[in-house]
Amino acid sequence: MKNHEKLRAKIKEHYKTYAQFAYDLGITLSALQGKLMNRNRWREDEVVGGCKLLGIPVENAGEYFDLSWGYTTKAFYWEKETELTDLIHERYGNIKDFARELGICWATLEHRLTGRRPWKKEEVEMVCELLQIEPDNVNRYIPKEQIYSDIWTERIHTYYEYQRDFLKDLGLDGAGFFRKVRHGQKWPLAKKSRAIQLLHITDDEIPLFFPLGDRYYQTILHERIHTYYDSIKAFGDAIGITTRYIYDKTCQFRPWTEDEMIKICELLHIDGKERKKYFIAKPDGYRRGTTIWYSK
């Protein structure tokens, strides 16, 4: 292992204190001390960032940094996104300050630069504004395939600068919107109508935004519940179980008890002939404790 004497001398040559170097490198002073004492390994971006800050050629990084733990000086994210990262260092000096201006943490920015996480459209717009990149040249710095986009994102940004402004008008939080768009959770009729109105969704586009074959919560029992009750919570209060249990049971994650099925049939006016349509069938004789699945 290296004792990092050459690296320590190089840092003192360019900086008055280790704390200043650690700040420009985007790590804490304690993290830097741990690496200099060989208690922690150097990350790829830290090695290349240190080389740039101290004027060390990347190919000579092994003379200053301990790379004996399996690191190589190849395929660093600075080499993958040369033009973008060079522009960032030219305008801001280091990644940390640019991430602060961008409104994200520097670790998130690193994920964007390495291609491990896609760029959000609003982040790309902010990058263009901060680095004075023409919108037509953005793909020169950020490949198109690394920019996250879907039909909802495109339509929201057509009418809103930020997604949070749309959610505020819609009356939903980010988690609720994510569950509806990504996991197919049932849209309440009022929220669905409001989204159609805010985003000017035409009749032909409705199946694209609200697919009929959603994976969760789109059972005929769920539709029947909304025929008689304004919300799943109100229905759960009526039969004495929580909303979470109703979702699990309608999605076949949990079985209905016999008492629950009898009460549901009474509340939703389901007769005996229709019962098979609303409750999932299991092989005859299936039992688990006091729980009974409806059998054919």
- The answer on pLDDT for 214 being more than 60 is no
pLDDT tens-digit profile of 229-260?
887 788 888 888 887 777 767 665 577 788 88
- Is the Cβ–Cβ distance between 24 and 51 less than 8 Å? no
Cβ neighbours of 67 (radius 10 Å):
17
Residues 67-80 have pLDDT tens digits of: 765 443 333 444 44
Amino acid at residue number 77: Y
pLDDT tens profile 146-193: 776 668 888 888 899 888 889 999 998 887 887 777 666 778 878 888
Minimal CA–CA distance to 52: which of 5, 75, 85, 3?
Answer: 85
Instruction: Kindly report whether the global pTM for this prediction surpasses the value 0.75.
Output: no
Contact by Cβ (8 Å): 263, 239: yes
Dump the DSSP string for 9-60. HHHHHH-SSHHHHHHHHTS-HHHHHHHHTTSSPPPHHHHHHHHHHHT--GGG
Residue 291 CB neighbours (<10 A) = 13
